[in-house]
Amino acid sequence: MASPPTAVLHAKAAPTLDLLTVPQVMARLQLGCSAVYDLLRTRQLASITLDRARRIPAHALAAFIRTRLDQEAAA
């Protein structure tokens, strides 16, 4: 039996993690710098720090948006 190509095995073992900068999040949410940093400070939006650089995982931004949509729908 033939084994799957190495690229397929690698993709399953280590999914890609897109990291966004604060300006990229600002553009996607159409918010200002202070508003995005407030979301990060209050931990409504998850992030990591690499040296002095703040990065937001794309899946964290999607989860934040999903949560806000659910909150709006429940109200």
- The string of pLDDT tens digits covering residues 15-68 is 568 999 999 999 999 999 999 999 999 999 999 999 999 999 999 999 999 999
With residues binned 3-state (H G I as helix, E B as strand, rest as coil), the percentages for the chain, rounded to 5, are 55, 15, 30
Alpha carbon separation from 20 to 14, 39, 67, 71 (Å, rounded): 18, 14, 19, 24
Rounded to whole angstroms, the Cα distance separating 25 from 31 reads 8
Q: Is the pLDDT of residue 10 over 60?
A: no
Kindly report the pTM of this predicted structure: 0.75
Rounded to whole angstroms, the Cα distance separating 23 from 41 reads 16
**Six-digit token pair at 40?**
């990060």
